Amino acid sequence: MQRIQRSTLTFADMDEQSLNTAHAVLTYCPKHIASLLAQPRAGQNNQLEWWSPLGGQPIAYADLTLEQRTTLVNLYQQRLASLQQLSQQANSSVLSHLVATLPKQPVFDHLYSLNQQPVLINWHRYLHIQQPDVIPVVAAVTPPTARHKKFHMWLWLLLIALILAALSAIYLWISNRPQPVVPAPVEVLVALPEPEPEPEPEPEPEPIIEPEVVPITIAPEPIVEAPKIEVQVAPKPTPPKPKPRPKPAPPPKPKPEPKVDPSCGCPI
Protein backbone atom coordinates (compact mmCIF):
# COMPACT_ATOMS: atom_id res chain seq x y z
CA MET A 1 0.00 0.00 0.00
CA GLN A 2 1.18 3.50 -0.81
CA ARG A 3 0.08 6.62 1.05
CA ILE A 4 -0.95 9.43 -1.27
CA GLN A 5 -1.99 12.27 1.03
CA ARG A 6 -2.57 13.06 4.70
CA SER A 7 -5.72 15.16 5.03
CA THR A 8 -6.40 17.89 7.56
CA LEU A 9 -9.68 16.13 8.41
CA THR A 10 -10.05 13.37 10.95
CA PHE A 11 -11.15 9.85 10.23
CA ALA A 12 -14.30 10.55 12.25
CA ASP A 13 -15.43 12.89 9.45
CA MET A 14 -15.98 9.84 7.24
CA ASP A 15 -19.66 8.94 7.62
CA GLU A 16 -21.15 5.48 7.33
CA GLN A 17 -22.22 6.01 3.73
CA SER A 18 -18.66 6.79 2.64
CA LEU A 19 -17.28 3.72 4.45
CA ASN A 20 -19.96 1.48 2.91
CA THR A 21 -19.10 2.84 -0.53
CA ALA A 22 -15.40 2.08 -0.05
CA HIS A 23 -16.27 -1.46 1.08
CA ALA A 24 -18.60 -2.00 -1.93
CA VAL A 25 -15.92 -0.91 -4.37
CA LEU A 26 -13.45 -3.43 -2.95
CA THR A 27 -16.12 -6.16 -2.95
CA TYR A 28 -17.64 -5.87 -6.45
CA CYS A 29 -14.86 -4.32 -8.54
CA PRO A 30 -11.64 -5.88 -9.85
CA LYS A 31 -8.36 -4.39 -8.68
CA HIS A 32 -7.66 -2.25 -11.76
CA ILE A 33 -11.10 -0.55 -11.38
CA ALA A 34 -11.13 -0.42 -7.57
CA SER A 35 -7.75 1.38 -7.67
CA LEU A 36 -9.53 4.39 -9.19
CA LEU A 37 -10.73 5.38 -5.68
CA ALA A 38 -8.18 5.88 -2.91
CA GLN A 39 -8.98 4.02 0.34
CA PRO A 40 -9.51 6.05 3.54
CA ARG A 41 -7.50 5.11 6.60
CA ALA A 42 -6.97 6.44 10.12
CA GLY A 43 -3.45 7.73 10.58
CA GLN A 44 -1.53 9.24 13.44
CA ASN A 45 -3.71 11.24 15.82
CA ASN A 46 -6.73 9.79 13.98
CA GLN A 47 -6.03 11.93 10.92
CA LEU A 48 -7.63 10.94 7.61
CA GLU A 49 -5.15 9.49 5.13
CA TRP A 50 -5.67 8.30 1.55
CA TRP A 51 -3.94 5.09 0.46
CA SER A 52 -3.70 3.06 -2.76
CA PRO A 53 -2.57 -0.51 -3.53
CA LEU A 54 -0.70 0.74 -6.59
CA GLY A 55 3.06 1.05 -6.39
CA GLY A 56 5.25 3.93 -7.41
CA GLN A 57 5.57 7.54 -6.37
CA PRO A 58 2.29 9.53 -6.41
CA ILE A 59 2.44 12.53 -8.77
CA ALA A 60 -0.09 15.34 -8.63
CA TYR A 61 -1.99 16.24 -11.79
CA ALA A 62 -0.45 19.73 -11.83
CA ASP A 63 3.08 18.25 -12.03
CA LEU A 64 2.37 16.22 -15.18
CA THR A 65 3.11 17.20 -18.77
CA LEU A 66 0.31 18.05 -21.17
CA GLU A 67 0.47 14.64 -22.86
CA GLN A 68 0.50 12.82 -19.51
CA ARG A 69 -2.51 14.86 -18.32
CA THR A 70 -4.51 13.96 -21.42
CA THR A 71 -3.69 10.26 -21.04
CA LEU A 72 -4.56 10.28 -17.32
CA VAL A 73 -7.99 11.93 -17.88
CA ASN A 74 -8.81 9.44 -20.65
CA LEU A 75 -7.99 6.54 -18.32
CA TYR A 76 -10.11 8.09 -15.57
CA GLN A 77 -13.13 8.28 -17.91
CA GLN A 78 -12.59 4.67 -19.05
CA ARG A 79 -12.47 3.45 -15.42
CA LEU A 80 -15.63 5.41 -14.67
CA ALA A 81 -17.45 3.77 -17.62
CA SER A 82 -16.35 0.32 -16.43
CA LEU A 83 -17.55 1.14 -12.91
CA GLN A 84 -20.96 2.08 -14.32
CA GLN A 85 -21.27 -1.29 -16.11
CA LEU A 86 -20.30 -3.16 -12.93
CA SER A 87 -22.91 -1.27 -10.90
CA GLN A 88 -25.62 -2.36 -13.36
CA GLN A 89 -24.44 -5.97 -13.32
CA ALA A 90 -24.16 -6.13 -9.52
CA ASN A 91 -27.50 -4.33 -9.09
CA SER A 92 -25.91 -2.38 -6.23
CA SER A 93 -27.59 0.85 -5.19
CA VAL A 94 -24.37 1.96 -3.45
CA LEU A 95 -22.28 1.69 -6.63
CA SER A 96 -25.07 3.24 -8.71
CA HIS A 97 -25.14 6.25 -6.39
CA LEU A 98 -21.35 6.51 -6.54
CA VAL A 99 -21.31 6.48 -10.35
CA ALA A 100 -24.11 9.06 -10.48
CA THR A 101 -22.24 11.46 -8.17
CA LEU A 102 -18.67 11.16 -9.45
CA PRO A 103 -17.84 13.94 -11.94
CA LYS A 104 -17.17 13.00 -15.55
CA GLN A 105 -14.42 15.60 -15.59
CA PRO A 106 -12.45 15.17 -12.35
CA VAL A 107 -11.35 17.95 -10.03
CA PHE A 108 -7.68 18.16 -10.86
CA ASP A 109 -6.65 18.93 -7.25
CA HIS A 110 -8.05 15.50 -6.26
CA LEU A 111 -6.45 13.52 -9.12
CA TYR A 112 -3.07 11.77 -8.81
CA SER A 113 -1.01 9.48 -11.01
CA LEU A 114 0.46 6.28 -9.51
CA ASN A 115 2.35 4.06 -11.90
CA GLN A 116 0.62 6.03 -14.75
CA GLN A 117 -2.81 5.03 -13.36
CA PRO A 118 -5.48 7.53 -12.17
CA VAL A 119 -6.30 7.68 -8.44
CA LEU A 120 -9.01 9.97 -6.99
CA ILE A 121 -8.95 11.23 -3.39
CA ASN A 122 -11.63 13.08 -1.40
CA TRP A 123 -14.28 11.31 -3.46
CA HIS A 124 -16.55 11.07 -0.37
CA ARG A 125 -17.44 14.74 -0.77
CA TYR A 126 -19.38 14.02 -4.01
CA LEU A 127 -21.69 11.50 -2.27
CA HIS A 128 -23.60 14.23 -0.48
CA ILE A 129 -23.98 16.57 -3.47
CA GLN A 130 -27.54 16.50 -4.79
CA GLN A 131 -27.54 15.87 -8.52
CA PRO A 132 -30.12 17.57 -10.76
CA ASP A 133 -32.86 15.43 -12.26
CA VAL A 134 -31.91 13.91 -15.57
CA ILE A 135 -34.17 15.06 -18.38
CA PRO A 136 -35.07 12.29 -20.84
CA VAL A 137 -33.18 12.65 -24.05
CA VAL A 138 -36.21 12.09 -26.29
CA ALA A 139 -38.38 14.68 -24.52
CA ALA A 140 -35.58 17.22 -24.57
CA VAL A 141 -34.70 16.78 -28.22
CA THR A 142 -38.05 16.24 -29.94
CA PRO A 143 -39.71 19.67 -29.39
CA PRO A 144 -36.70 21.70 -30.57
CA THR A 145 -36.46 19.53 -33.67
CA ALA A 146 -40.12 20.17 -34.57
CA ARG A 147 -39.71 23.89 -33.94
CA HIS A 148 -36.61 23.95 -36.11
CA LYS A 149 -38.42 22.23 -38.97
CA LYS A 150 -41.33 24.70 -38.76
CA PHE A 151 -38.90 27.62 -38.62
CA HIS A 152 -37.07 26.33 -41.69
CA MET A 153 -40.39 25.96 -43.55
CA TRP A 154 -41.40 29.57 -42.79
CA LEU A 155 -37.93 30.75 -43.75
CA TRP A 156 -38.21 29.10 -47.17
CA LEU A 157 -41.68 30.54 -47.71
CA LEU A 158 -40.45 34.01 -46.82
CA LEU A 159 -37.53 33.65 -49.21
CA ILE A 160 -39.82 32.56 -52.06
CA ALA A 161 -42.18 35.48 -51.37
CA LEU A 162 -39.28 37.95 -51.50
CA ILE A 163 -38.11 36.52 -54.81
CA LEU A 164 -41.60 36.79 -56.33
CA ALA A 165 -41.96 40.38 -55.07
CA ALA A 166 -38.61 41.30 -56.63
CA LEU A 167 -39.60 39.76 -59.98
CA SER A 168 -42.95 41.60 -59.93
CA ALA A 169 -41.24 44.91 -59.22
CA ILE A 170 -38.83 44.38 -62.13
CA TYR A 171 -41.72 43.52 -64.49
CA LEU A 172 -43.71 46.63 -63.48
CA TRP A 173 -40.70 48.87 -63.89
CA ILE A 174 -39.99 47.54 -67.38
CA SER A 175 -43.64 47.80 -68.51
CA ASN A 176 -44.25 51.32 -67.09
CA ARG A 177 -41.02 53.03 -67.86
CA PRO A 178 -41.30 55.94 -70.42
CA GLN A 179 -40.47 55.08 -73.95
CA PRO A 180 -37.53 56.97 -75.40
CA VAL A 181 -38.47 59.85 -77.79
CA VAL A 182 -37.15 59.25 -81.26
CA PRO A 183 -36.50 62.59 -83.10
CA ALA A 184 -37.97 63.04 -86.60
CA PRO A 185 -35.50 62.66 -89.42
CA VAL A 186 -34.13 65.98 -90.75
CA GLU A 187 -33.43 66.38 -94.45
CA VAL A 188 -30.02 67.83 -95.09
CA LEU A 189 -29.30 69.29 -98.55
CA VAL A 190 -25.77 68.77 -99.59
CA ALA A 191 -24.41 70.67 -102.62
CA LEU A 192 -22.78 68.25 -104.95
CA PRO A 193 -19.59 69.51 -106.66
CA GLU A 194 -19.78 70.30 -110.40
CA PRO A 195 -18.24 67.65 -112.61
CA GLU A 196 -14.85 68.59 -114.00
CA PRO A 197 -14.67 69.01 -117.82
CA GLU A 198 -13.18 66.12 -119.61
CA PRO A 199 -9.70 66.93 -121.06
CA GLU A 200 -9.43 67.16 -124.86
CA PRO A 201 -7.76 64.14 -126.44
CA GLU A 202 -4.21 64.77 -127.63
CA PRO A 203 -3.58 64.41 -131.39
CA GLU A 204 -1.95 61.20 -132.42
CA PRO A 205 1.68 61.68 -133.64
CA GLU A 206 2.33 61.15 -137.36
CA PRO A 207 4.13 57.92 -138.18
CA ILE A 208 7.85 58.28 -139.05
CA ILE A 209 8.70 56.89 -142.50
CA GLU A 210 12.06 55.14 -142.45
CA PRO A 211 14.18 55.26 -145.70
CA GLU A 212 14.63 52.07 -147.63
CA VAL A 213 18.02 50.42 -147.24
CA VAL A 214 19.58 49.44 -150.59
CA PRO A 215 22.13 46.61 -150.28
CA ILE A 216 25.56 47.41 -151.80
CA THR A 217 27.64 44.58 -153.22
CA ILE A 218 31.41 44.99 -152.71
CA ALA A 219 33.75 42.89 -154.85
CA PRO A 220 36.46 41.09 -152.90
CA GLU A 221 40.02 42.37 -153.41
CA PRO A 222 42.56 39.93 -154.94
CA ILE A 223 44.85 38.33 -152.48
CA VAL A 224 48.50 39.20 -153.25
CA GLU A 225 50.95 36.60 -152.05
CA ALA A 226 54.02 38.01 -150.30
CA PRO A 227 57.44 37.13 -151.82
CA LYS A 228 59.24 34.31 -150.10
CA ILE A 229 62.44 35.37 -148.36
CA GLU A 230 65.05 32.69 -148.01
CA VAL A 231 66.93 32.86 -144.79
CA GLN A 232 70.40 31.31 -144.78
CA VAL A 233 71.22 29.63 -141.50
CA ALA A 234 74.92 29.71 -140.57
CA PRO A 235 76.34 26.28 -139.74
CA LYS A 236 76.96 25.55 -136.17
CA PRO A 237 80.68 25.92 -135.22
CA THR A 238 82.49 22.68 -134.56
CA PRO A 239 83.76 22.57 -131.01
CA PRO A 240 87.62 22.31 -130.77
CA LYS A 241 89.03 18.96 -129.89
CA PRO A 242 90.41 18.80 -126.39
CA LYS A 243 94.20 18.78 -126.10
CA PRO A 244 95.67 15.57 -124.85
CA ARG A 245 96.95 15.79 -121.34
CA PRO A 246 100.76 15.56 -121.02
CA LYS A 247 102.00 12.31 -119.60
CA PRO A 248 103.48 12.71 -116.18
CA ALA A 249 107.31 12.45 -115.97
CA PRO A 250 108.46 9.16 -114.55
CA PRO A 251 109.90 9.36 -111.06
CA PRO A 252 113.76 9.41 -110.92
CA LYS A 253 115.34 6.11 -110.33
CA PRO A 254 117.02 5.82 -106.95
CA LYS A 255 120.79 5.86 -106.98
CA PRO A 256 122.41 2.72 -105.73
CA GLU A 257 124.23 3.18 -102.51
CA PRO A 258 128.03 2.73 -102.80
CA LYS A 259 129.31 -0.40 -101.28
CA VAL A 260 131.70 0.02 -98.30
CA ASP A 261 134.45 -2.24 -97.36
CA PRO A 262 133.71 -3.34 -93.88
CA SER A 263 137.30 -3.78 -92.99
CA CYS A 264 138.48 -0.28 -93.67
CA GLY A 265 135.28 1.53 -94.24
CA CYS A 266 136.28 2.76 -97.71
CA PRO A 267 133.94 2.70 -100.65
CA ILE A 268 134.60 -0.04 -103.13
Distance of CA 227 to the CA centre of its chain: 115
Q: Is the pLDDT of residue 188 over 80?
A: no
Three-state SS across 77-114?
HHHHHHHHHHHHHHCCHHHHHHHHHCCCCCCHHHEEEE
Q: Between 117 and 140, where is the model more confident?
A: 117
Span 94-108, pLDDT tens digits: 878 887 878 877 778
Span 223-263, pLDDT tens digits: 766 666 666 666 676 777 777 777 777 777 777 676 766 77
pLDDT value for 180: 63
pTM here is 0.45
pLDDT value for 202: 76
Which residues neighbour 127 within 8 Å (Cβ) at sequence distance 6 or greater?
17, 18, 21, 97, 98, 101
**Taking the CB of residue 75, how many other CB atoms lie within 10 A of it?**
15
Span 33-72, pLDDT tens digits: 888 888 888 888 888 888 888 878 888 888 888 998 899 8
**Taking the CB of residue 2, how many other CB atoms lie within 10 A of it?**
16
β partners of residue 113: 59, 118
Distance between CA atoms of 266 and 260, rounded to whole angstroms? 5
First-last CA distance in the chain: 170
